[in-house]
Amino acid sequence: MEHRWPKKGDRLLVSSKDRQTAASFTSHQISREAFIWDGYMTAGAALIDEAQRRPHDRDMLLYPILFNYRHGLEAAMKWTIERYGRLAHVELDVLDHDLWSLWKKCKAILTAVSTTDDDEPLKVVEQVVRDFHGLDKHAVALRYSKNKNRRVILLPDKPIDLENVQRVMEAVDNFFKGADGLLADVESASQDY
């Protein structure tokens, strides 16, 4: 296999007229937020699929897999708070990566509009948020081996079931997409009066 080496004229973002292989940024802010949320969730799933095809890369891919899912989860919660926070008098006041504080606001929104006694999905998603928050409180542990104080960040010392991660995160993503639909309907109905 030949390894490519940097060569004169290489640039990162080169325009392409080939619509079959090109990708474009969106200038629409809401679309961009949706693409970021969905893109990170999709990337996590795609990396798990790749890890299944290349088992020797699983340990290496674990970090970007979990980081993509963590960031997709963060984007989903920020989306929910920014769009529907007024339904529970909460807002996205500090732009940080604290999943637990984001979850408390999301939960307040979802609880404020809930019309069901079945809170099991809410509890399950809360546990997944807690798991991610415990794993990587500041969105650093999955990107770097050391913290700002140059101390090694400890991570769980056990094998992780990637297929389970994929199934759980697909369900969490579906939960937030369903919540988005529900909250949009609630908001629309409240504007009709």
pLDDT digits (tens, 9 = 90+) for 33-89: 999 999 999 999 999 999 999 999 999 999 999 999 999 999 999 999 999 999 999
CB under 8 A, 24+ apart: contacts of 51-57: 51/162, 52/162, 52/163
Asked if residue 24 belongs to a domain, the reply is no
Pair of tokens at residue 173: 């993503």
Q: Does residue 22 fall inside a structural domain?
A: no
Rounded Cα distance between 183 and 193, Å, is 16
Assess whether pLDDT exceeds 80 at residue 193.
Answer: no
Range of the domain at 81: 29-191
Question: How do residues 112-139 score in pLDDT, each as one tens digit?
Answer: 998 788 899 999 999 999 999 999 999 9
Domain count, the chain: 1
pTM over 0.85: yes
Tell me the per-residue pLDDT of 135-190, one tens digit each, with 9 for 90 and over: 999 999 999 999 999 999 999 999 999 999 999 999 999 999 999 999 999 988 87
Task: Confirm whether 107 is domain-assigned.
Answer: yes
Which residue, among 57, 63, 47, 110, has the nearest Cα to 83 in the 3D structure?
Answer: 110
Structure confidence by residue, pLDDT tens digits, 137-152: 999 999 999 999 999 9
- Alpha-carbon span 94 to 79, nearest angstrom: 14
Tokens describing residue 66: 């979990």
The answer to whether residue 6 sits within a structural domain is no
Classify residue 132: in a domain, yes or no.
Answer: yes
Cβ atoms within 10 Å of 189's Cβ, excluding its own: 9
Does 134 map to a domain?
yes
Among candidates 68, 65, 107, which has minimal Cα distance to 90? 107
108 lies in a domain?
yes
Within a domain: 13: no
